[in-house]
Each structure stands twice: as C-alpha cells, then as structure tokens.
Amino acid sequence: MDVPWFDAVDRRPIAAQLPWPALAGKRCLDIGTADGFWALEMERRGAADVLATDVGTPFARHARERFDAVESNARYEERSVYDLDGEYDLAFMGWVLQTLDDPIRALKAVRGVAKQLLLLDTISVPLLFLPAPLARLDARRDGGELFVFNPRGMRKALERAGWRVEARTGVLRDRYTIPTGWKHRAGIRGRSCAMLAS
C-alpha cells in the first residue's frame, strides 16, 4: 500500500528512521491521528488491527477520507488520550505530547491500554553551548505547543509514567514541502526525537 501524506510535510523519511517493533499481526492504536498517516503506516507495516483516535478536529475528516481512498481497514474514533480503553500491542503518539496540558497523565493513560509505546515528538535542543531545559512551558509562545521536552526530559516523562525506554532515535528533522518560516529553514524548529518504550 502506498501511504499518502499530508501536503505540508512528507513524513515518510521520518517513518523510516523510527525504532519500530515488529507489527505483523499486532493490534495498534494511533493516538492523535490527525490526517491518518501513522495509522496507515502501521497497517503498511503489517498491523492486523489499527484504531486511530483524535479529539474533534478538522483533521478527522481527512483521516476518514484517507482511509476510504486506500481501502484501509483502519478505524477512526473521536476520543481523548485521557479516555482510552481496550488492549493494544503498540500505541503510537506522533507530535501529540507537546499539545497536552498534562503529558504525564496522558502517558499513564496510554500505559493502561498498551504493551508498548512509540512516542515521536518535537524536542528542544541546545543552541551553541547553552543547555536545553528538560522541558519548557509554552515554548513557542504562540499557543501551538504547551510543553516541549529535550530528549532527556522526554525519557524522564516516560519513566515517571511507568514506561521503560528500549530504544530511541537521534534528532530527526521534518521535511516541509511548503515554506514554514526562517526558524524551520535554519533548523531551530522542526526537530523531533522518537522513543520506543514498554
């Protein structure tokens, strides 16, 4: 299956770098699915059952349309990360943690329903020789993010929620296909890290 992608950013190069566990025959959960890309990526990697969830956003329509367009078996449900239920082999959270008002509570909620978690989120990194804090509140000051962790802070958040980190990536760069401002072009924004936890 050729997985379509959202017009602003091609996520396929990032997907190829993530520390995916084997998904063949697994039951998976995509938290904060937005346009459905990650749900389809898990299905492409062999997941037997994929549930995509998100809060009521305009992206929900895109996810449903995308699932129909490629005749996917992925299902969509409007649901908050704080209200998850069921049992899953793997939960995936892509760029969700930074938007939540209580990220530790969210990670604990996921811990209650999934055996493994693949977490991908925006990170802050040191500029020159200045250390990046473990987490910053409202780092962008434009309301787009609430918390931004550095990689050590992301690990600490996972551990506080009862997860054990098994693998992680280095710093990943988003590849935008439309102009997004000088901070993305300069590499100040658009940096992410992924961690696989159990």
2 is a domain residue: no
HSE-up of 57 (CA within 13 Å, CB side)? 14
The token duo for 160 is 């506080």
The token duo for 148 is 């931004």
Total domains in the chain come to: 1
CA 172 to CA 126: how far, in whole Å?
14
6 is a domain residue: no
3 is a domain residue: no
pTM: 0.85
CB 44 within 8 A of CB 26: no
Domain encompassing residue 119 = 12-197
51 is a domain residue: yes
170 is a domain residue: yes
Three-class DSSP category at 29: strand
5 is a domain residue: no
What was the pLDDT predicted at 9?
64
pLDDT digits (tens, 9 = 90+) for 105-129: 999 999 999 999 999 998 877 655 5
Q: Amino acid identity of 164?
A: R
- Tokens 């990046």 sit at which residue? 132
1 is a domain residue: no
Instruction: CATH number of the domain at 19, please.
Output: 3.40.50.150
48 is a domain residue: yes
pLDDT digits (tens, 9 = 90+) for 73-85: 999 999 999 999 9
CA 50 to CA 48: how far, in whole Å?
7
pLDDT digits (tens, 9 = 90+) for 126-166: 655 556 677 777 655 555 678 888 899 999 999 999 999 99
